[in-house]
Chain A
Amino acid sequence: MRRCHQSGSGCSAGEELDATVERPFFVESVMLKVVVGHSNDPDSPAAIAEVIEQCDRALGDSAPQAGILLTAIDFDHALILQAIIAAYPGLELIGGTTDGEISSVLGFEQDSLSLMLFSSDTITIRAAIAPQISQDLDGSLQAAVAQATAGLESPIALCIALPESLTTSGAQIVASLRAHMGQDVTICGGLTADPWEFKRTYQFCGTEVHRDAIAFLLFSGPLLFSHSVASGWTPIGKPGVITKADQNIVYEIDREPALQFYQRYLKAMEPSSEYPLAVFEADDSNYYLRAPSGTCDLEIGSITFFGDIPEQAIVQITEATRDRILAASKAAPQQRSLNTLVKNRPPHSSFPARAAARFLAATLEKSTN
């Protein structure tokens, strides 16, 4: 089974799970309706009103069962959540803060609010929140999964997760999700974000606003879905070997402080998520990406990443261009056909997720449109 970690219709600054990649996620089902509302109005009440109006128009007579809310950080999240639940009582709602949002309604926007609603009479969707994951990740997830799956008639097929990005390693989050959900569940999602400040992010479940949590939706029933990955980042520069690391904190590269590896290129500037590391594990020419989380210790020269990097892995700085990111955006949906369970059927909806792309695409909104 493939794991695919995506954010919803938005950008997260540093998805450690596969940091800074393009990962469309397609959902197909019989009797599944998916609608999207998107507003760039900075006024919270006006924005959510607009979004709900858009969703209502699209839903028609259908009643939504679950939803994913992705919003910029400068909104009144509690008010918005209450407005959504008031409009759709009983909605299994999750969400998180993002840094840039994409939808088929408005295209690419920053400082906006987007809501995706699912309506189905054959698929069961449950929302859950695992709080305080930096304190007890496994315990919190175990309890949340148990609560969410209580009484489910069908096994879980798909999990969309929106974890906190700043307090816990994404790799550990994925490992824990898998441990508690089983090998047969496809896990996708993306880390929540703030506007490139790496100070605070929020996760939502129902009307609750959390930090240091994982919000997730569980899908069970006759659901067909597929996913793919494409990256616009390519390795450049001289490789180095991770000589000292502890989960997602890298202390040394080539027996020198990790910070020096980046500063060889950036001089006095600190590492940025725009330039993740390509990680090659032993005897493997394939690589995955790990982006700096914005946290580093200037005294000892360590860098915290969004995901774990094992010792003795070989790493290289990567860089991307706008063209390569856009090419990846186009390539990822094409790859979907390799994974889909039902070929030659267009999906109902897709979640394209670009991480750390906005800096490289000043005209990205035009491009995505």
Chain B
Amino acid sequence: MIAQPTDQPLTLQQLEKENRILRKKLERAQQTCQELEATSERREKILRQAIAELNDSRQAVEEKRQLEQTLTELRETQSQLVQAEKMSSLGQLVAGIAHEINNPVNFIYGNLLYVQEYVNGLLTVLKAYQSHYPQVVAEIADLAEENDLDFLQEDLPRVLDSMKAGAERIRQIVLSLRNFSRLDESDLKATDIHEGLDSTLLILQHRLREKPGFAPITLKREYGDLPLVYCYPGLLNQVFMNILSNAIDALKASRAQLEPLATPLAPEIVIQTCVLDEHWVEIAIADNGSGIPDSVQQQIFNPFFTTKPVGEGTGLGLSICYQIITERHRGKLECQSELGQGTTFRIRIPMQQSN
């Protein structure tokens, strides 16, 4: 143990000790003060830079989010443009085919009238010959028998009538195709909605017929007294085509899903049109299929949403319909459905469009 001076009073020792401690602390305090200034400066710099980096990072995240959103929108727009282009190409194709068919069918139809006239005249002359000259030479009698002249006289007019009906039908189809594509009518135009519906139904007619395993689909038209409506007829026909196609698909799917011994309902599509008020008209297309679940209904107008197997649908049809009705026509498109009951699509568009 180190010897301590014991002859000095304790109080003095304590004072001296305290003095030493205080001097040391003062020296240290001065040093600490300088160090703390440096510490404070470092801290401020680090935090400033960290905050700047955080802001940059946030900005980068936000930009990335916006870029991703823009990319998503671009992709959607691109897909919609592609789909629209397909529809446009289809329309052009349809119009082109219709045009190509139109001329020859008109030749046929036009000449058929003359053929009918000529044939009628020939038959009249033949009857007159038969009346005045009942006994003919053997050669003529043989030829008459060989060519079954009686049957020819009876059947030829029927054949010509059938050809005329066929040619007329082709003309109607061509007219409907041209009406459906409406390429020459891309602007807003006062349109007979029912004409558009009928032209669309004509194109889909083959799908309504009976097929093996599927009963024919009954079509009911409940048309109201609609005025001419200012709309984009070509686009509106696309909407009708899409919704009616979906209805037919739904009815076929409902039939396929039935239990083997269950009694199927007769498949039916009902098209109703009416004037809602002085500004709006409504076109309702309803089917009695199996209906759409709520979870699907909520997404039905979303781009790329489809319930069809891969490769059978792009999922863009209804979203384009929605866009055509709501954006181009400033109208409303709604889907109402009940499981087991069926589905109704309601299209509401204004009769006039303000620019």
Contact = CB atoms under 8 A, between A and B. Distances in A.
Contacts of B4: 46, 49
Contacts of B35: 196, 359
Interface string A258-269: 000000111101
A48 B25 CA distance: 18
Given A195-B31, A265-B45, A265-B49, A43 B20 contact: yes
Contacts of A265: 45-46, 49-50
A42 B39 contact: no
B50 A46 contact: no
B21 interface: yes
Interface in A45-60: 45-46, 48-49, 52
Interface string A345-369: 0000000000000011010000000
A272 B42 contact: yes
A342 interface: no
Contacts of A275: 42, 46
B46 A86 contact: no
B12 interface: no
Contact of A52 (B1, B21, B43, B53): B1
A266 B46 contact: yes
Nearest to A318: B46
Contacts of A362: 32, 36
A269 B45 contact: yes
B41 interface: yes
Contact of A40 (B2, B21, B47): B21
Given A111-B24, A359-B36, A362-B36, A49 B1 contact: yes
Interface string B122-152: 0000000000000000000000000000000
Contacts of B32: 362
Contacts of A360: 39
Contacts of A319: 43, 46-47, 50
Contacts of B58: none
A249 to B, nearest CB: 22
Contacts of A120: none
B28 interface: yes
Nearest to A44: B2
Given A264-B49, A265-B50, A42 B24 contact: yes
A41 B20 contact: yes
A45 B50 CA distance: 49
Contacts of B21: 40-42
Nearest to B22: A42
Interface in B294-340: none
Contact of B46 (A42, A196, A237): A237
B229 to A, nearest CB: 61
A265 B51 CA distance: 11
B131 to A, nearest CB: 109
A238 interface: yes
A236 interface: yes
A86 B53 contact: no
A267 B38 CA distance: 13
Q: Which of B24, B31, B47 has the most A CB atoms < 10 Å from its CB?
A: B24
DSSP majority for the B interface? helix
A111 B21 CA distance: 9
B189 interface: no
Contact of B17 (A41, A195, A196): A41
B31 A42 contact: no
Nearest to A270: B42
Contacts of B49: 237, 264-265
B221 interface: no
B36 A267 contact: no
A360 B4 CA distance: 38
A207 interface: no
A319 B40 CA distance: 12
A87 interface: yes
A269 B44 CA distance: 12
A57 to B, nearest CB: 13
Given A42-B23, A110-B28, A267 B45 contact: yes
B35 to A, nearest CB: 6
Interface in A318-333: 319
A362 B28 CA distance: 12
A40 B25 CA distance: 9
A45 B31 CA distance: 25
A45 B20 CA distance: 13
Nearest to B21: A40
Interface in A5-42: 40-42
A354 to B, nearest CB: 15
A317 interface: yes
Contact of A269 (B25, B28, B42): B42
A31 B38 CA distance: 48
Contacts of B43: 274, 319
A156 to B, nearest CB: 33
A210 to B, nearest CB: 23
A269 B38 contact: yes
A72 to B, nearest CB: 9
Nearest to A275: B46
Contacts of A83: 1-2
Contacts of B38: 269, 272
Given A111-B28, A269-B45, A319-B47, A46 B39 contact: no
Q: Which of A43, A265, A362 has the most B CB atoms < 10 Å from its CB?
A: A265
Contacts of A49: 1-2, 4
A194 to B, nearest CB: 12
20 contacts: A40-B21, A45-B2, A46-B4, A49-B1, A236-B47, A237-B49, A237-B53, A238-B57, A265-B45, A265-B49, A265-B50, A269-B42, A272-B39, A274-B42, A275-B46, A317-B46, A317-B50, A359-B36, A359-B39, A362-B36
Interface of B: 1-2, 4, 17, 20-21, 23-25, 28, 31-32, 35-36, 38-39, 41-43, 45-47, 49-50, 53, 57
Closest 9 CB pairs of A and B: A42-B24, A265-B49, A265-B46, A236-B50, A359-B39, A237-B50, A238-B53, A42-B20, A45-B2
Given A83-B1, A265-B49, 17 more contacts: A40-B24, A46-B20, A52-B1, A111-B25, A237-B53, A238-B53, A238-B57, A265-B46, A266-B42, A269-B41, A269-B42, A272-B38, A272-B42, A275-B42, A317-B46, A317-B50, A319-B47
